[in-house]
Amino acid sequence: MDIQYWNREVETLDREGLARLQLKGLKETVDRALQTEFYKRRLQKTGIRSADDIRSLDDLKKIPYTTKNDLREAYPRGLLSVDTDRVVRLHTSSGTTGTPTVIYHTTEDLANWTELCARGIVATGSSNRDVFQNMMGYGLFTGGLGLHYGAETVGMLVIPSSSGNTARQLRLMKDFQTTVVHVTPSYMLHIQSRIEPEGYKREDLNLKKAYLGAEAYSESTRRKIEELMGIDAYNSYGMSEMNGPGVAFECVFKDSMHIWEDSYIVEMYDAARQRELGEDEEGELVLTTLRRTATPLLRYRSGDLTVLNGAPCRCGRTHRRIARIKGRTDDMLIINGVNVYPSQIESILMKIPEVGTNYQICIEKDGSLDRLTVKTEIYSKMFTGDVQVLEELKRRIREQMKAAILINPAVELHEPGGLPVYEGKAKRVFDTRPKD
């Protein structure tokens, strides 16, 4: 296979070279962090007064973790490390669950972010010959703008369609023969389900690849999308605190995501046991920025669960890989004492061929017990009027759930289009149990 790189030198740099870059980046980051009100206070107790106190990468361990809550408390300027006249953009989180968080960018920050996105795009085999339709929201959400500049830098023809308006998305895809889309997996499934109802055939489209990210999804969902659309789907990971998309991307081998270690120091943490983890152990991803100037973050706890993989990749990139994100630490559901992640339920559903492209997980209190209801769309050909067929399908879904997650849910079947559609990140879990 012909392997392409955007920045071959850095992407294939040996581990010693990467460690040298990391140490240099860490020293610079600590110096910048000390310019912020937040870290000036936070680092006081550690004895770190300047970059000179960082002599090896191990010195990072002296620094406490930074959490999302710290970012909220530092809102709006507590983590800004440069004069405002050097800042050219900011992104905030949606703030739907409380005080938002803010990340500032200088021109250099945007250039670095763009480079990381370009690396990811090229790693999937895309090039300036591709037509790139970016269906992620443009605006404060980083999904749109982030990859937009990466794609332009690679020289792709970029269609900034943003999220929503499915009929227009399909029309753009057909008229401009889009080859690559960037989209949430849930919206990709919805787009697929609308091809025929909107009057198109799959052959009208020239789609070859999808970059799927912004929400947790299972390998079965990737497979389903690949099979239904006849494309290659690549996992793309990022979060606004670390810029946005472009933090980690799958290469052509589609086997976990290379995380750019010249720009981030990767650590793993087991929050329940409060201990650090090594490679191959599942835990929370912790990242330190190395190249960011306006908002440096040290040991930021992402809340995302994954496994770090140090095995060499056939593509020749030396940056380690992270496994598909299982979910967020705060996504875990405890249903009648059983721990389950929504992605596990999704994974079972998407392997069942009759199951359509949309589903919901509902949990409510029923007396002293928790009751799980899985609502799922199924393909219209299943609605033949034969109740027995539907009952048999429900039974099969229940059995597979019981075998995999030890919970026997109620199952509701819906016609295609019967459940609400989300154009950005999908809301799948509806937990109405009283919080105590």
Interface contacts to ligand AMP, rule CB under 6 A: 142, 213-216, 235-240, 244, 302, 304, 325, 328
Residue indicated by tokens 């999220």:
163
* Closest distance of CB 313 from Zn ion, Å: 3
* Closest distance of CB 209 from Zn ion, Å: 16
**ω into 64 cis (within 30 of 0):** no
Q: Taking the CB of residue 375, how many other CB atoms lie within 10 A of it?
A: 19
Query: From CA 410, how far away is CA 421, in angstroms rounded?
Result: 22
* Closest distance of CB 240 from ligand AMP, Å: 3
Nearer to ligand AMP, 325 or 407 (CB): 325
With CB under 5 to 8 Å by kind, the binding choice for 242 among ligand AMP, Zn ion, none is: none
Among 43, 60, 122, 251, binds Zn ion (CB under 5 A): 251
* Closest distance of CB 143 from ligand AMP, Å: 6
* Closest distance of CB 169 from ligand AMP, Å: 20
DSSP 3-state of 395: helix
- CB of 65 closer than 8 Å to CB of 286: yes
The type of residue at 185 is P
Element (H, E) at 16: helix 15-33
With CB under 5 to 8 Å by kind, the binding choice for 113 among Zn ion, ligand AMP, none is: none
CB within 8 A of 103, min separation 6: which ones?
90, 91, 92, 240, 241, 243, 294, 295
Token readout for 412 is 């509701």
* Cα angle: 287, vertex 279, 343; to 5 degrees: 75
With CB under 5 to 8 Å by kind, the binding choice for 153 among Zn ion, ligand AMP, none is: none
With CB under 5 to 8 Å by kind, the binding choice for 251 among ligand AMP, Zn ion, none is: Zn ion
Query: From CA 192, how far away is CA 180, in angstroms rounded?
Result: 14
Query: From CA 290, how far away is CA 296, in angstroms rounded?
Result: 8
> Applying CB under 5 A, what is the total number of residues that bind Zn ion?
4
* Closest distance of CB 368 from ligand AMP, Å: 32
* Closest distance of CB 66 from Zn ion, Å: 29
Contact string (CB under 5 A) for Zn ion, positions 209-248, x = contact: ----------------------------------------
Nearest to 290 by CA among 7, 33, 47: 33
With CB under 5 to 8 Å by kind, the binding choice for 315 among ligand AMP, Zn ion, none is: Zn ion
Beta strand segments in 156-282, E: 157-159, 180-183, 209-212, 232-237, 248-250, 257-259, 264-270, 275-277
Nearer to ligand AMP, 295 or 302 (CB): 302
Nearer to Zn ion, 42 or 319 (CB): 319
Query: From CA 200, how far away is CA 339, in angstroms rounded?
Result: 43
Contact string (CB under 5 A) for Zn ion, positions 300-339, x = contact: -------------x-x-x----------------------
With CB under 5 to 8 Å by kind, the binding choice for 359 among Zn ion, ligand AMP, none is: none
Which residues contact Zn ion (rule: CB under 5 A)? Answer: 251, 313, 315, 317
